[in-house]
Amino acid sequence: MIAPKAEREILAGVRSPLAADRTRAFERLVASVHRPLFAVCESITQHRADAEDALQEAYVAAHRGLAGFRGDSRLGTWMYRIAIRAALRQRARRRRRADHALASEPIDPRTLAGPENVDAERVRRALGRLSAEHRTVLALFCVEDHSHEEIAEVLGVPVGTAWSRLHHARKRLVAEFEQQRDC
């Protein structure tokens, strides 16, 4: 999430009468949320190019909506919400086309620094078999150190729901992982 001070500066920037200030503030906003948003979008879409498309769509939507941003939620939360919606739309589009030929590119296993006794590639496959809802909640918990409250706000659900969704997602992940092992 964006630090409160940076958030105040960005919001001041986007409300500036000078176009250059507005662009600079927007650029700063994008730079500060890009990597975690990309990870969440990629884990929802399971496709790198789709995640990039979704993010671009989200940024354009955010740029359009920033002027009307009233600060009812944190700026980061708002960006997450827009990006998740865009990623879900992108995923639905991909499904409509039933274009599964373009699977997610395999990641270099050396970049995974998980526990040595667990096969990282198998975890990745198990993750890919979860529902978008479960992948979303796991990604939100994993990518940045969000609290349950922040994640509930991003998802627009009560804290208890966010917690139980995480609980089920984790159980499902382990079940899928074990199934992968049996295969």
Proportion of the chain in helix, strand, coil states, percent, rounded to 5: 75, 0, 25
Task: Report, in Å, the least distance between residue 145 CB and another protein.
Answer: 8
36: Cβ–Cβ under 8 A, 6 or more apart, which residues? 143, 144
**Contact residue for another protein among 66, 123, 152, 155 (CB under 8 A):** 123
Task: Report, in Å, the least distance between residue 80 CB and another protein.
Answer: 13
117 counts as binding another protein under rule CB under 8 A = yes
Residue at token pair 């922040």: 150
**Contact residue for another protein among 79, 138, 152, 155 (CB under 8 A):** 138
Q: How many C-beta atoms surround the C-beta of residue 154 within 10 A?
A: 25
Among residues 129, 140, 131, the alpha carbon closest in space to that of 162 is found at 140
Residue at token pair 């739309």: 89
Residue numbers of the site for another protein (CB under 8 A)?
A: 23, 26-27, 30-31, 34-36, 38-39, 42-43, 49, 52-53, 56-57, 59-60, 63, 93, 97, 99, 102, 107, 111-115, 117-118, 120, 123-124, 126-127, 138-139, 141-143, 163, 166-167, 170-171, 173-174, 177-178
